[in-house]
Amino acid sequence: MQIIWLGHGSFRIEIEDQVLLIDPWLTGNPMLPEDQHAAATTAATHILITHGHFDHTADVVALSKSLGAPAVGIYDFMSYLESKEGLSVIGFNMGGTVNLGKVAVSLVPALHSTSYGPDATASLGREAGFIVNGEGHTIYVSGDTGISAEMDWIGDYYKPDIGILSAGGHFTMDMKGAAYAAKRYFDFKTVIPCHYKTFELLEQSATDLIDALPEVNVIEPQVMKPIPF
């Protein structure tokens, strides 16, 4: 298994028989060079979407159609993408689990907001995170979120050993907030921060997260550099 950061909140997770793209943002992503777009997305089997904001969905329609990879996420938003954009989708809801090949993916709450494209009045359900299970690991993908009491049962029930946590501040938790959530609600072995460095108003370093979690392997990801497990 390996996890590859595509910059901002975007990831490529190669796990079991699947290649999962999480919120792939290519067009306009200042952290992912254009000549790396193909390598970032090749052979993807599914596209997991946490919410509708442009920095998580700008390329979903084009990628889903070109790769033949279904979009996966909350039922209302997936139904919209199916009916309005003609995508193949897998829609489910909070607490539900779908099997993508040998990988189990569960939908969990996040604390944020959501809208999509010019039709911001469309029913998109709500923002979410994912639990990804495979190869002996359980990954919590927080999606864009602040600290939430929902994390209490997420940590207790799913017991993820890897946390991919939004931690840039301003729009989500900052590094100190992510560290607080990790210590209070989870027992991570590995934490990977994201949704930072992209713009000046976001945090540029994970030092506060690293310093607050001395017993956790906090990995500052490098764009397109695989993190093996």
Whole-number pLDDT of residue 166:
97
Q: Which CATH number fits domain 2-221: 3.40.1350.10, 3.40.50.720, 3.30.465.10, 3.60.15.10?
A: 3.60.15.10
First-to-last CA distance in the chain? 5
Q: Name the nearest CA neighbour of 202 among 210, 193, 211.
A: 193
Those residues with Cβ within 8 angstroms of residue 225's Cβ, 6 or more apart along the chain or in another chain: 4, 5
Q: Report helix, strand or coil for 91.
A: strand
Whole-number pLDDT of residue 122:
67
Read off the pLDDT of residues 36-57 as tens digits, 9 standing for 90 and up: 999 999 999 999 999 988 889 9
Cβ–Cβ under 8 Å, residues 227 and 2: yes
Whole-number pLDDT of residue 115:
83
Task: Mark out the alpha helices in the chain (DSSP H runs).
Answer: 37-41, 54-57, 60-67, 75-85, 150-158, 175-185, 207-212
Cβ–Cβ under 8 Å, residues 149 and 143: no
Q: Could you tell me what percent of the chain has a pLDDT over 70?
A: 97
Average pLDDT, the chain: 95
Q: Does pLDDT of 123 surpass 70?
A: no
Cβ–Cβ under 8 Å, residues 213 and 182: yes
Q: Report helix, strand or coil for 202.
A: coil
Q: Does pLDDT of 16 surpass 70?
A: yes
Read off the pLDDT of residues 169-200 as tens digits, 9 standing for 90 and up: 999 999 999 999 999 999 999 999 999 999 89
Read off the pLDDT of residues 74-106 as tens digits, 9 standing for 90 and up: 999 999 999 999 999 999 999 999 999 999 999
Domain ranges of the chain: 2-221
The confidence band for 12, taking pLDDT boundaries of 50, 70 and 90, is very high
Q: Report helix, strand or coil for 63.
A: helix
| pTM exceeds 0.85, yes or no | yes
